Amino acid sequence: MRLGVIVSPAAGFSYEEIRELAVKSEISGFSSFWVSDHFFGGPRGMPDRNCLEAWTLLAALARDTQRIRLGVLVAAVQYRNPALQAKIAAGVDHMSGGRLEFGVGAGWKEEKYRAFGYDCPPPGDRVDQLKEGLEITRRLWSEERATYHGKHYRIDDAVCAPKPTQRPRPPIWVGGEGPRVMRLAARYADGFDLGKHGPGGADLTNEEMAAAFNDLGSTERAAKREKPLLRSHWSSSTLEGDGTALVEKIRGYAGAGLDQYLCGFPKDRAAEMIERSRARLIPAFS
């Protein structure tokens, strides 16, 4: 089981606070640190809380950390031209010495699209855009000059130089739920982050997670995929007492097929819980 930390949403944090959490996560032994892709955060009607842009945030963390892997969970493909996003990501991979985890999804937060002047197409079109974005990203990272003409995006003899440091490329994570997104993950990605939660953001039960991953397995078999996708999920997490409750929750998810669990600790106690994880959580999965 891989254990990571996610700041989601990254609203209300200063850069110094997020940097502290990332450094503490590295020291405590977490394998990865993730940020979300939002432009503003807070309750409806209060959209003015500080919220740092995801890729500039990762670029800074790439220089302020040494070993921990860094990712966005997940970048909405419509927010940035996918060719530009591929080049930005390649730069972050260089700045971090090859520690980037590339997470991308079809997007969903309509109010933020509208606020920033983006079109917010229907869900089916957004999934089509994700497919084209993945195709463009993989071509730019592997070909000297890449050309692709799709319905939504196109590139002509585009150059991504330098290429990412990691070979053959940084791990690609597709996030979301539903059969079409799972099919894209099976075709283009290395991992799938299950973006499903219960009512009101409640934790998934072990049975709900197992059912989702059973569907993912069927999709992989239909795609004749040889190597299974890594399976990831994040949820709100608290580390109380000796940590038994959180350890048992993660073990239950592992039994349901999970490979990577990302802890969404509460903002006001995140630093404390990350520090305590070194003794209470990390050893349980080492």
Say what percent of the chain tops pLDDT 70.
97
pLDDT 10s digits, 98-154: 999 999 999 887 878 888 888 888 889 999 999 999 999 999 999 999 999 999 999
Residue spans per domain, the chain: 2-285
Options 3.40.30.10, 2.40.50.500, 3.30.2080.10, 3.20.20.30; CATH for 2-285 is 3.20.20.30
pLDDT 10s digits, 69-89: 999 999 999 999 999 999 999
Pairs from 108-117 (Cβ < 8 Å, separation ≥ 24)? 108/76, 109/38, 109/76, 111/44, 112/38, 112/39, 112/40, 113/78, 115/39, 115/40, 115/47, 116/39
Query: Tokens 């000796």, residue?
Result: 242
Confidence bin at 44 (pLDDT 50/70/90): low
Q: What tokens appear for 212 in the block?
A: 């989702």
- Res. 45: pLDDT tops 60: no
Closest CA to 33 of 103, 107, 138, 106: 103
Say what percent of the chain tops pLDDT 90.
85
- Check residues 109 and 28 and name the one with the higher pLDDT: 28
Q: Are 71 and 101 in contact (CB under 8 A)?
A: yes
